Each structure stands twice: as C-alpha cells, then as structure tokens.
Amino acid sequence: MTYKIAIIGLGKIAMDQHIPAITKNKKFKLVAGVSRNASLKDVPHFTSLSELLASKIKLDCLAICTPPSVRLQMAIEALKAGLDVLIEKPPTPTMGELFAMQAFARKQKRVLYATWHSRMNAAVEEARVRLKGKRVTQLKITWREDVRHWHPGQEWIWQAGGFGVFDPGINALSILTRIMPQELFVQSAVLETPANKATPIAAQIKFKHGDGLASDMSADFDWRQTGEQTWKIEMTTQDGMKLNLLKGGTVLEINGKTILEAPMEEYELIYKHFAKLLKDRKSDVDAAPLQLVCDCFMLGQPKLVAEFL
C-alpha cells in the first residue's frame, strides 16, 4: 500500500530532510504541502490545515513540521479528520500537550508517531545492546552546534516554548534515554540565556541515578560553536567498558576500537518505521527526552549572558 501524505510546515527541516526521505520511500506519496510562506513545485499548496482538509484531497496521514507551539491544535484537527500523524521533534512545548495529543490519538484510534531522528542510527541501537545489564558510572555529553547554520532567521526558537539550545540538545537526550540501562534524572542545570532572548543558548547539566549511588554524569550543550560541529556521548560502565557514540550517533567505539560506522539515514529510517506503524496500526510516543528537558527548565539556574545578534 502507498500512503498519501501531506507536510504541514515547509521550513528548513521539511525541505532538507522530510521531503527527500518521503520521495525515496515507495510506501509514501506526497500529495500536498501546507505553509503560510512557502510552497512545493508540482504539489498542491494550502495556507492552513483547515484549507487542506476542506479541499477533499485524499489523504492517509500528515507530517507536522511546524514549530512545537502549534502542533497540539493541528494534531487534534488531523486526528479528528481520521488521519494518522507524524510529528517532528521536539514534539510539543510541554509534557501536558504531548500526553493530551497521545490520549486523543488513542481515543480516535489513529496512529501517532513522535519522532526522535537521532535514535534511528544503527550505532545507537548497537550501543543499547552493549549497555544492557550494565551500570553507567561516568557520562559526558558534548553537543555543540552553530545556531546560525542550522536555524537561520528562525526567531521562534528564541521565544518561550522554543527550546533554545535544547532543540539540538534533545537529540542527545533522545539517544541517552534510548541506550541507558537505568533511568536517570536531572540533578542540576545552568541555563545560559542571552539578555535579548527568552531561551538558553547554552546549558550545563548534571544527572543522577535514582538510587543515589555515586556517579559522574553531565552534559554540555552550546549553540555558539562555529566550524566543525561536536555531537559526542562518552560513557564508562562499572565493569570498565568505555563506550563512545560519535558524529551524532553514527559511529560507535568500544574501548577505543571502532565497532560500527554507518551512513546518516535518520529520516529515511523514520519513514520506514512510520510505514510499519501504519501497517500494524500502532503508535510510537516516548516522552522521556522531553521529560528531561522539562526537568532542566524546572531545576535550571539562570545565567544571563551577552546579547546574541
């Protein structure tokens, strides 16, 4: 079966990742785009989801790629119309909205897929297998990007609910919550926020185990790095295994030896998984990465830094 899909929100992530991945996947056919500011060649264009639904174009599902703040309303509208829904990460600005979306999808008996693209890399799954049954005693996440490269001119990320540096940082947390053999919690956080912005440009986080046993686990997120970007997770287990996930989760090292290196095909694998969810009529919604972000904001100590222009 080929699923007819529309994309809501034609920004950078939709253009760079979703559309190419959909085009490659024979299980999907892109039949419409919705955006107030952009359109797609050779595909019907609408300025709102309501306008798309009123058009009576035959649809099976939607990919919602708008900023997180408007997704709940759109998802409810789509689910009510009998459509299945995929949402780009971060899924929603709050846990409450994600739970409400999940409950409504269940009530409507529709598929809801809250994607975490960084989890899709083969090295991430191999790391999860290698860590099973072990205890992590040391963790260091270094996730540093250039916001001007990845989010040019996007003001929503600097507004309340826009996540700031946690927009990329949640990618690291999505990997972490997938591979960690035990649940972990935020112990403290420092949120560096520019004087002219509402969301942080950098964050330093300390984690803890729930049982209180000693560990050294931290994360360093920063949006001011130029040149080569850094996406690295380094872990040590109680039995002495050293595990590193490098290059955004595409490379796995164990005790200094490269075990697995695979091409980055995150969005291709997202749509492969979505097709299976649609066939099996199952949803996939994991709130754990968003929970850690919310906890960072709850426990975070604000630190005012220079304006970011």
Q: Is 226 exposed, middle or buried (0-12, 13-18, 19+ CB in 10 A)?
A: exposed
Q: Which two tokens stand for residue 131?
A: 């860590």
Residue 87 belongs to what H/E stretch? strand 84-87
How far apart are alpha carbons 292 and 205 in whole angstroms?
10
How far apart are alpha carbons 12 and 95 in whole angstroms?
25
Query: How many other CB atoms sit within 10 Å of the CB of residue 23?
Result: 12
Active-site residue, selected from the candidate residues 58, 89, 257, 282: 89
Asked if residue 152 lies in contact with residue 13, where contact means CB atoms within 8 angstroms, the answer is: no
Among residues 116, 143, 151, 166, which one has the least CA distance to residue 300? 166
Q: Is 276 noted as a catalytic residue in this protein? A: no
By annotation, the residues acting in catalysis are: 89
